[in-house]
Amino acid sequence: MLDAASEPASSPFPSPEEKRAVRAAKREAVLRAAVQMFNERGFHQTSLDDVAARLGISKPTIYHYLGNKDQVLLECVTLGLGQLIAAAEEARQRPGTGADRLTAFLLRYAEINMDDFGRCVIRTGDEALAPESRARFRQLKRQIDTDLRGLIAEGLADGSLAPCDPKIAAFTIAGALNWPARWHDPTGSESPQDLARQMIDLLARGFVPR
C-alpha cells in the first residue's frame, strides 16, 4: 500500500494539454464572435472594440489570440474556404458515380455557405483584405473552383452527368449555392440541410417538366 508521501500528487496547475485546449477554445470564441459580427454589420462597420465588447474582453486579448483586424478576417475566410476544400476532398473519396460525388459535395457546399464562416467567405469582397491576404484568399477560391470543375468532369467522363461545359456549369452552380449566404435566415424554420437538398434537387432536375 502506498503511503501518502509516495502517492502521486494532484497538481492545481493545468497541464500543457489543458492549456492548449483552453487557448484553442478562447481563440475559437473570439473567431466566432468576430465572424458573426462581420456577417451582421459588415467588415468595415465592425471594430475589434465591438468584438471585444460582445465577449466581455479587452481588445489586446484579441491581438494576443489572433492579431489585427485584417488577420482576424483572413482567419475567418480561411476557415470557411478550408471547410469547402475538405468537403471536396471527402466527396472525391466517395464510391458511386461522378454525379453521386458531385451531389455530395454540393450538399456540403450549400450547408457550409449557410454557416458563419462560409457566409463570411461569400460576403467578403477581395478589397476588404490587405494585399498579401487578398492573394491567399484568391488562391483558395481558385482551388475550390478547380475542385468543382474536376467533380463535374468526372461525371461527364462516366456519363452520369448530361453533356455541358464544365466551366459554365461550375459558375452557374456556384452562383446559385453562394447566394443563400445572403438570404438564408439562421433563425428560420428550415434547416440548412433541408434547404441544401431542395436547392440541389432543383439544380439537378431543372425547372421545366421533361
Show the DSSP H helices in the chain as ranges.
Answer: 16-41, 48-55, 59-65, 69-92, 98-113, 116-123, 131-157, 166-178, 180-183, 192-205
Dist CA 208 CA 80 (whole Å): 34
For the beta carbon of residue 115, count every other beta carbon within 10 angstroms.
Answer: 16
Distance (Å) of CA 154 to CA 91, 105, 142:
12, 13, 18
Average pLDDT (60-87) is 93
**pLDDT recorded at residue 5:** 54
- Band of residue 21 on the pLDDT scale cut at 50, 70, 90: confident
**pLDDT recorded at residue 3:** 57
Q: What is the mean pLDDT of the chain?
A: 91
Domains of the chain, residue spans:
16-67, 69-205
Distance from chain centroid for Cα 62:
21
pLDDT in tens, 151-199: 999 999 999 999 999 999 999 999 999 999 999 998 888 999 999 999 9
Class of domain 69-205: mainly alpha
Q: What is the DSSP string of 98-156?
A: HHHHHHHHHHHHHHHHTSHHHHHHHH--GGGS-HHHHHHHHHHHHHHHHHHHHHHHHHH
Fold category of 16-67 in CATH: Arc Repressor Mutant, subunit A (1.10.10)
**pLDDT recorded at residue 137:** 94
pLDDT in tens, 32-54: 999 999 999 999 999 999 999 99
User: Residue 1 corresponds to which cell in the numbers above?
Assistant: 500500500
